[in-house]
A and B are shown apart, each in its own frame.
Chain A
Amino acid sequence: MTEEQYFGDREDYHSMEELHKAALAKEEQIPEEGNERGPWWMYAIIILVLAFGFFYMGRYLGEVSDRPHVLFTETDPEATEEEELDMMATGRQVYTRVCQSCHQQDGSGVEGAFPPLTGSDWVVGEPGRPVHIVLQGFEGQIVRNGVTYNATMPGFGRLLSDAEVASVVTYIRNSFGNDATEVTPDDVMDMRDASSDRVSTWTEEELNAFIENR
């Protein structure tokens, strides 16, 4: 088709405007869409992508809450192993963060309220006692070296991991002049299981009875 045929005779138009109008008048509609199905690999991609999307959500959704979640910021396993070897350092960190405000930096406690950890027979004796006190807490009157202490210690079982409880107990058993055996995260895990139905804080009698029964 030549230019002249399409636009008609050039002499019919006196200006570019008229020519445009003529062309516009002849402009065709958008043809109606086809109804092809598309190639097979497109459907393969769709299915693969859907599968990946749902797998990804299932695998990495984490906890559905408003809390920031640390699922993906764990340190690599090698580094974690090294840290676990150094229970005293971890224990010191936990102690500073959790225990120090009451039991004091040197473990001397506060007279009348918080008993000292220094030279305490419970701290250096059977490891179950300090571990359970850290896990579930302690309340009621207690007399040590002629001094009466009476304050409530909350349990930290929900806040601290097995490794952290083991570290902090190991730390207090080997600091402030104390010297006793190490407590491992596995020990703590066993003890946590053994007292899993315990929700309230311990009293002196209850704790003694519990330790003797085991």
Chain B
Amino acid sequence: MGPKKELRVTDLDRSARYVVLFLIISGIFWLLFGTLLALLASIKMHMPDWLGGFGWLTFGRVRPLHLNTMVYGWASMTGAGVALWILSRLLKTPILLRGYIMVAGLVWNLALLAGSVQILAGSSRGIEWLEFPVSTMVVIVLCVLIMSASVILMIRYRRVKQLYVSVWYILAAFLWFPLLGLVSSLPIFDTPTVQAGMNWWYAHNALGLWFTPIGLAAAYYFIPKVLGRPIYSYGLSLLGFWGLALFYNWNGFHHLIGSPLPTWFVTISIAASVMMVIPVVVVAVNHHMTVVGSFSAVKYSPTLRFVVFAAMSYTFVSLQGSTQALRSVNEVIHFTHFVVAHAHIGMYAFVTMMLFGACYYIIPRITLQEWHSKALIKWHFWLTAIGIVIYAGALQYIGLFQGWDMNNPDVPFTDTVSMTIPYLMARSMSGFLMTAGHLIFAWLVVKMVFRTGEQPDAPLIWEKIRREFAL
């Protein structure tokens, strides 16, 4: 084909503009909707009668819908937008199949809407992480498949020789997720034990093979990009990627310790969960050694601040997960609030914070607008960071005691419930903090994208970093 014309960054970003913005803004809409549901569900934990008169607002519908809108609305759509933008930048290729992706995004939103109505109407599938009806899931997977096609085409027609580590993760994610979604939608899991097995295979892999690779791809992109420093080691990048690919997909069955699943299933899963320590430590070393020495840049770059927080959370939550998989720990903490908090450290402190960081970098470049307020960005960071720390701290602390007491036959079951109430209230409080953060974020994005109000007359952040670090 001969050498292709070198595309400039400005051209790439201009062509990415509408697709990426559409996905990110759709994601933010579902983030706000999911946040509202989260607050409802959280408050109902300590005020069970509140709004109990409306069937469609009962806990059993609000809580699964919160999970599904956050996972398939916010994190998946925004994650897909971020991943496509990173790919376009790294491969020096405009995002391909843009028109199809726009249609896919629209259909995806409609599917989410239809699925939400069905869950609120009471027809949930009753499988955690898969409460949406099969029809909604299949439509979402087909939409992702269109993006997968775009990813493969972009790699095929790339204008660079080397594939950077973020590209590996993104390609893998766009191949793994459609597989997970389609297999879990097959009508073959009809006996209870097999269904439970599929359930945790799917749910754990949705985090591990879809959100985690996108999150790590973002970390691998933004840390060196913002700092202008090379990633510490190519070898460690390789080791981390293949470690994740090898070990993560076995992890889910550690949720089924003590179930009628064959023991060898569960044992292999626990061993693989522990072996996840390898890619996690390797990636942590790789990121840490890249940041070390320039750590103060987190003060100036909102992107870096969110991304570093998220990368540290990834290390923490993964090491915690490896520990939780062990039978001796699992028999205490499983079926307590500890695991709920663990899941939120994964999906919020890691995935969501990473996506916030990515948005702070991407949106100014594709809109050619500037964020309106440095102070509000700081508020966004601290509200969400403190919120999730309170959330995780309160629930994991009481989760331990709840677990010990549930295993103690001398303690009546109701005591193990009532002891958690003050901590459930703390959870609701942290929920309000995070909600405030999300509203600030949404307001900043709306103001920027729809160009309302005065533009600040100088960029807020960029040159400061460059001055500090002489890049």
A214 at the interface (CB under 8 A from B): no
**Residue of B271, B277, B364 with most partner-chain A CB within 10 A:** B271
CB distance from B459 to the nearest CB of A (A): 7
Q: Are B262 and A65 in contact (CB under 8 A)?
A: yes
Complex alpha-carbon distance, A3 and B458, angstroms: 10
Other A-B pairs beyond A33-B230, A56-B267, A61-B268, 14, CB < 8 Å? A16-B456, A16-B457, A20-B364, A24-B10, A30-B224, A30-B230, A33-B165, A33-B232, A36-B236, A37-B233, A38-B236, A42-B281, A46-B282, A60-B267
* Chain B 207-229 interface 0/1 with A at a Cβ cutoff of 8 Å (1 = within): 00000000000000100110011
Q: Which of A45-74 contact B (CB under 8 A)?
A: 45-46, 49-50, 52-54, 56-57, 60-69, 71-73
A68 touches B459 (CB 8 A): no
Complex Cα–Cα for A42 and B365 (A): 38
A21 & B368 in contact (Cβ 8 Å cutoff): yes
| B258 in contact with A73 (CB, 8 Å) | yes
A32 within 8 Å of B (CB atoms): yes
Q: Closest approach, in angstroms, between the C-beta of B469 and any C-beta of chain A?
A: 10
Q: Given A6-B463, A6-B466, A42-B282, verify A69-B262 contact (CB < 8 Å).
A: yes
- Known A35-B235, A36-B232, A56-B274; contact A61-B267, beta-carbon cutoff 8 A: yes
Given A56-B271, A64-B264, A72-B263, A20:B368 Cβ within 8 A: yes
Smallest Cβ-Cβ distance to A6: which chain B residue: B463
Known: A31-B228, A34-B230. A1 touches B263 (CB 8 A): no
Cβ of B289 within 8 Å of any chain A Cβ, yes or no, is yes
Chain B neighbourhood of A36, CB < 8 A:
232-233, 235-236, 289
Evaluate whether A57 and B267 lie within 8 angstroms (CB atoms) in the complex, with A20-B364, A67-B262 already known. yes
Query: A154 CB to closest chain B CB, in angstroms?
Result: 26
| Contact B264 A63, beta carbon cutoff 8 Å | yes
Instruction: Specify the chain B residue showing the minimal Cβ separation from A2.
Output: B467
Q: Decide: B277 and A20 in contact? CB cutoff 8 A.
A: no
**Cβ A34 vs Cβ B262 within 8 A:** no
Q: For chain B residues 250-273, which have a beta carbon within 8 Å of chain A?
A: 258, 260-264, 267-268, 270-272
Q: A99 vs B456: C-alpha distance in the bound complex, in angstroms? A: 88
Contact between chains at A46 and B278 (CB < 8 Å): yes
Contact indicator A30/B234 (Cβ below 8 Å): no
Please name 17 pairs of A and B residues whose Cβ atoms are closer than 8 Å in the assembled complex, sorted by A. Answer: A3-B458, A20-B364, A20-B370, A21-B368, A24-B10, A25-B9, A30-B90, A33-B165, A33-B237, A38-B233, A38-B285, A49-B274, A50-B275, A61-B263, A63-B262, A64-B262, A72-B263
Nearest-CB residue, chain B, relative to A7: B463
Contact, CB under 8 Å: B467 / A34: no
Q: A31-B224, A38-B285 are in contact. Are A62 and B267 (CB under 8 A)?
A: yes
> B225 — which chain A residues lie within 8 A by C-beta?
30
Is A27's beta carbon under 8 Å from chain B? Answer: yes
Instruction: Tell me whether A23 is interfacial, beta carbon within 8 Å.
Output: yes
- Name which of A17, A36, A67 has the most chain B CB atoms within 10 A of its CB: A36
B228: contacting residue among A28, A60, A66, CB under 8 A: A28
Residues of B within 8 A of A49 (CB): 274-275, 277-278
Which residues on B sit within 8 Å (CB–CB) of A77?
Answer: none
B285 touches A71 (CB 8 A): no
**A56 shortest CB reach to chain B, Å:** 5
B233 touches A54 (CB 8 A): no
Q: A68 to B261, Cβ gap below 8 A?
A: yes
How many Å lie between the Cα of A7 and that of B464 in the bound state? Answer: 12
Q: Report if B13 contacts A (CB, 8 A).
A: yes
A19 at the interface (CB under 8 A from B): yes
CB-based nearest A residue for B193: A68
Residues on A with beta carbons closer than 8 Å to the beta carbon of B232: 33-34, 36, 38
Among A30, A38, A46, A69, point to the contact of B263 (Cβ < 8 A).
A69
Residue B234 contacts which of A25, A33, A60 (CB distance < 8 angstroms)? Answer: A33
Q: Considering only CB atoms and an 8 Å cut-off, how many residues of chain B contact the other chain? A: 57
Contact yes or no, B467 A57, CB < 8 A: no
The answer to the question of B378 belonging to the interface, with a C-beta cut-off of 8 Å to chain A, is no
Distance A33 CA – B221 CA, assembled complex (angstroms): 11
Complex formed: what's the CA distance from A97 to B471 in Å?
80
Measured between alpha carbons, how far is A38 from B231 in the docked complex, in Å? 12
Knowing A49-B277, A49-B278 are in contact, say whether A31-B234 is a contact too (CB < 8 A).
no
A66 touches B262 (CB 8 A): yes
Give chain B residues whose Cβ lies under 8 Å from the Cβ of A146.
none
Closest Cβ of chain A to B243, distance in Å, is: 9
Determine the distance from Cα of A37 to Cα of B260 in the docked complex, in whole angstroms: 44
A61 to B270, CA, bound (A): 10
A23 to B10, CA, bound (A): 10
For A25, what are the chain B residues with a Cβ–Cβ distance below 8 Å? 8-10
**C-alpha gap A103/B462 in the complex (Å):** 89
Q: Which of B343-401 contact A (CB under 8 A)?
A: 364-365, 368-370
Distance (Å) between the CB of A121 and the closest chain B CB?
44
With most chain A CB atoms within 10 A of its CB, the pick from B8, B235, B264 is B264
Verify B13–A24 contact, CB threshold 8 A: yes
Question: Judging by beta carbons under 8 Å apart, are A72 and B281 in contact?
Answer: no
Query: Nearest Cβ distance between residue A32 and chain B, in whole angstroms?
Result: 6
Does B233 lie within 8 Å of A45, measured CB to CB?
no
> In the complex, what's the smallest C-beta–C-beta distance from A43 to chain B, in angstroms?
10
Interface residues of A in 172-204 (CB under 8 A from B): none
**Is the CB–CB distance between B230 and A50 below 8 Å?**
no
What is the bound-complex CA distance between A34 and B224, given in angstroms?
A: 11
Residues of A near B8 (CB, < 8 A) are 25
Closest A residue, CB atoms, query B289: A36
| B221 lies within 8 A of A30 (CB) | yes
Assess whether A34 is in contact with B278, with CB atoms less than 8 Å apart: no
Task: Give chain B interface residues in 188-220, CB to chain A under 8 Å.
Answer: none
Given A21-B10, A25-B8, the answer on whether A42 and B285 have CB atoms closer than 8 Å is: yes
User: Which residues of chain A are near B457, meaning CB under 8 Å?
Assistant: 16
0 or 1 for each of B431-471: is its CB under 8 Å from A? (1 = yes): 00000000000000000000000011111001100110011
Tell me, yes or no, whether B300 is within 8 Å of chain A by CB: no
B327 in the interface (beta carbon within 8 A): yes
Structural contact, B285 and A23, CB atoms closer than 8 A: no
Cβ-neighbour of B264 out of A27, A39, A69 (below 8 A): A69
Contacts of A34 in B (CB 8 A): 230-234
